[in-house]
Amino acid sequence: MTLPIGFDDVVAAHERIADLVHQTPVLTSRTADERSGATMLFKAENLQRTGAFKFRGACNALRQFDDAQRQRGVIAYSSGNHAQAIALAARLLQIPATIVMPQDAPASKLAATRGYGAEVVIYDRYSQSREEIGAQLAEERGMTLIPPFDHPHIMAGQGTTALELLREVGGLDVLVVCLGGGGLLSGCATVARHLQPACRVIGVEPEAGNDVQRSLQQGRIVHIDVPRTIADGAQTKAPSERTFAVMRRRVDEVVTVSDEALVRTMRFFAGRMKMVVEPTGCLAAAAVLEGTVAARGKRVGVVISGGNVDLDRFASLLGGSEPTP
């Protein structure tokens, strides 16, 4: 079976979006290295435009619209980083954008999405299905629906994160990437498999939502209930056929970390590296810093996926009296 994306798709994506995205820095921390016994190389997508890697996939998808699609516009449903990524990419490329968001989405997210010039359509998450609303609007208005992970252009765009990292730092023994629906991980694994076949590729899910870990173990897609976790970017119920097919072939292992470990890692990033990282963005780093991934003596690439968290929520998550780690 041919997989939905290959290495060449990621290279093409990188060329296609280079003028729109930030080449984010690769950061190091002596404290992190002391704690893990590894050499940790952090790819800081919390410093990407819109605050998360999702901007890469959004740019790659919208740049491939034909004239008719550009005129009619793009539609996305999301309460999180995908919404803002599509909204900004659409504005930069002068494509109309409609974002379907739940009525209880944080005011700051609604404002940010509108601030990028997108039309926001509100729905009631308890009585309406966003998939149906999205499909209906797409049909009525002739707009193109771009999902947050289940699309080859999105997967290839997210993979440019690992392409930049591997090109900058060279050989890695392990690459650790957080995992929701698997767009980021499938893109990154595609790059690592091709450039460094011996590099272990590890996905990290929240403990409460290990749908992909179970799917890989059982060899078929496993559906779970919406997981209860502070990692709101990874509250997916299942991977898609596309992302699962790629992860199955190119990912070595999926591990999980607890919400407590995510909070400790947020404190670590704030206290030691002076960075605001959202809970989901801490998944990969937590797996290494907490010893879930065997890393001693190895060169380990770690993707920090995003930094969007309301400051009040950030403060309350960190609010305990624990000393800075």
Ligand X SMILES: *Cc1c(COP(=O)(O)O)cnc(C)c1O
- CA-to-CA distance for 107 and 125, rounded, in angstroms? 16
Q: Is 182 in the site for ligand X (CB under 6 A)?
A: yes
- CA-to-CA distance for 267 and 284, rounded, in angstroms? 15
Per the annotation, the verdict on 79 as an active-site residue is yes
Could you tell me if residue 94 is left (phi over 0), alpha (psi between -120 and 50 degrees) or otherwise beta? left
The catalytically annotated residue of 181, 187, 203, 209 is: 209
Per the annotation, the verdict on 211 as an active-site residue is yes
- CA-to-CA distance for 139 and 150, rounded, in angstroms? 19
Which one of residues 41, 281, 286, 302 is an interface residue with ligand X (CB under 6 A)? Answer: 281
**Residues 180 and 262: beta-carbon distance below 8 Å:** no
Structure-block tokens of residue 166: 């591997």
In the complex, least distance from residue 127 CB atom to ligand X, rounded to whole angstroms: 25
**Residues 44 and 304: beta-carbon distance below 8 Å:** yes
- In angstroms, how far apart are the furthest CA atoms of the chain? 57
Q: Is 206 in the site for ligand X (CB under 6 A)?
A: no
In the complex, least distance from residue 54 CB atom to ligand X, rounded to whole angstroms: 5
Give the residue with the Cβ less far from ligand X, 202 or 298.
202
Structure-block tokens of residue 239: 């991977």
Per the annotation, the verdict on 240 as an active-site residue is no
The catalytically annotated residue of 54, 159, 186, 301 is: 54
The catalytically annotated residue of 36, 278, 305, 307 is: 305
The count of residues in the chain is 325
Give the residue with the Cβ less far from ligand X, 174 or 211.
211
Contacts for 55 with CB less than 8 Å, ≥ 6 apart? 20, 21, 48, 49, 85, 88, 89
Which one of residues 180, 206, 209, 301 is an interface residue with ligand X (CB under 6 A)? Answer: 180
Binding residues among 111-150 for ligand X as defined by CB under 6 A: 148-149
Only segment of 62-70, 131-139, 256-264, 276-284 that touches ligand X (CB under 6 A):
276-284
Binding residues among 36-65 for ligand X as defined by CB under 6 A: 52, 54
**Residues 12 and 156: beta-carbon distance below 8 Å:** yes
Give the residue with the Cβ less far from ligand X, 4 or 148.
148
Only segment of 125-133, 176-184, 222-230, 310-318 that touches ligand X (CB under 6 A):
176-184
> Which residues form the interface with ligand X (CB under 6 A)?
52, 54, 80-81, 148-149, 158, 178-185, 233-234, 278, 280-281, 305-306
